[in-house]
């Protein structure tokens, strides 16, 4: 596979809050054949302006998780102009790495984040038209982009963004609704992957969390991931009419990745309001004996993230 000197990898996932990607030309997104930024996570996943957040990443490779990589980090401070179609402003992705370098990044949410990226209209410059404040996503959320860049990987550079959910005041609502919202709304917590099992065609189950499991070349199995209790949280959202709050339950999306073999789906999940406590995906093992690295990345619709990695031994 031919790689450009610099690869900008910014594929937004359906959760709308965290993304990190890899080249996928001619191959399934779930197949890891090069360095791949699978997730960038902020802890906590939702914070007020001025609150401290610790960011980390999951970097995969054909040899497994890359645990010794360092990245350049930077907090975006430029709202995306209406004329730009990217998920973030082009000014937030300069060629140089971020000013802070490390495996993690500790930074406060910008004190003016709700003005730059949220419902507060920024001040009007002399001679310029008023700038319209941001619209929330379908969960009522606003997000601060945080860039992570790996400039010196063997196959080029790799860039991704975390979208840290910002706790902003409710806009365009009556005082009584704002008071109710402030009483009821709880900031997002991360979902969790409680356990992952391998289910064979005969119905037998193997626990991936206890040990490396063995499958046969070409064997078709089912991976089943169980969600931790409370992963799908319920929270109030302002009705589009602006006259009431409505309860919404988070959707959960699982992205699946492996260094070999093939998944039936690149992503599975549970829609908001559904009661399923797990998600599953079919996987066909490669036809030759090898060790296969597996990653699961779970996201909720408000930007929370969890991930696990496993190893599968394909043996005759």
How far apart are the C-alpha atoms of 100 and 207, rounded to whole Å?
A: 39
Question: For residue 301, what are the CA distances in angstroms to 30, 98, 186, 195, 225?
Answer: 20, 28, 14, 21, 18
Count the alpha carbons within 13 Å of 244 in the hemisphere toward its beta carbon.
3
Task: Read off the pLDDT of each residue in 267-272 and give the average, rounded to a whole number.
Answer: 96
pLDDT confidence of residue 58? 97
Identify which of 307, 276, 302 has the alpha carbon closest to the alpha carbon of residue 15: 302
Q: What is the 3-state secondary structure (H, E, C) of 286-316?
A: CCCCEEEEEEEEEEECCCCEEEEEEEEEECC
The total number of residues written for the chain in this structure: 316
Q: What is the mean pLDDT of residues 21-44?
A: 84
**Which has the minimum average pLDDT: 9-23, 65-79, 153-167, 240-254?**
9-23
In the predicted model, is pLDDT for residue 291 greater than 90? yes
pTM summary value: 0.89
Q: Which residue is it, tokens 């199995």?
A: 221
Model pLDDT, residue 121: 83
One DSSP character per residue, 145-166 reads EEEEEEEEETTEEEEEEEEEEE
């Amino acid at each position: 596979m031919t790689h450009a000197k610099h690869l900008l990898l910014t594929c937004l996932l359906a959760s709308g809050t965290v993304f990190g990607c890899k080249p996928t030309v001619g191959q399934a997104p779930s197949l890891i054949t090069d360095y791949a930024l699978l997730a960038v996570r902020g802890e906590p996943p939702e914070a007020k302006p001025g609150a401290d957040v610790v960011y980390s990443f999951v970097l995969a490779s054909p040899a497994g998780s890359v645990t010794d990589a360092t990245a350049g980090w930077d907090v975006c401070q430029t709202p995306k102009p209406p004329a730009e179609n990217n998920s973030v402003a082009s000014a937030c992705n300069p060629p140089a790495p971020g000013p802070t370098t490390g495996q993690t990044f500790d930074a406060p949410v910008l004190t003016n984040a709700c003005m730059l990226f949220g419902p507060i209209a920024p001040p009007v410059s002399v001679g310029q038209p008023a700038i319209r404040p941001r619209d929330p996503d379908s969960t009522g959320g606003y997000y601060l982009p945080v860039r992570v860049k790996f400039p010196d990987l063997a196959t080029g550079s790799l860039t991704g963004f975390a979208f840290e959910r910002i706790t902003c005041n409710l806009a365009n609502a009556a005082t009584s609704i704002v008071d109710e919202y402030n009483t009821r709304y709880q900031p997002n917590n991360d979902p969790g992957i409680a356990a992952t099992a391998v289910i064979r065609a005969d119905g037998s189950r193997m626990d991936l969390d206890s040990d490396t499991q063995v499958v046969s070349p070409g064997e078709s199995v089912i991976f089943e991931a169980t969600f931790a209790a409370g992963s799908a949280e319920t929270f109030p959202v302002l009705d589009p009419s602006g006259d009431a709050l409505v309860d919404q339950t988070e959707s959960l999306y699982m992205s699946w990745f492996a260094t070999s073999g093939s998944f039936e789906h690149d992503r599975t999940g549970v829609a908001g309001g559904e009661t399923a406590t797990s998600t599953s995906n079919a996987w066909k093992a490669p036809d030759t004996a090898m060790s296969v690295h597996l990653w699961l990345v779970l996201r909720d619709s408000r930007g929370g993230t969890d991930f696990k990695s496993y190893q599968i031994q394909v043996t005759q």
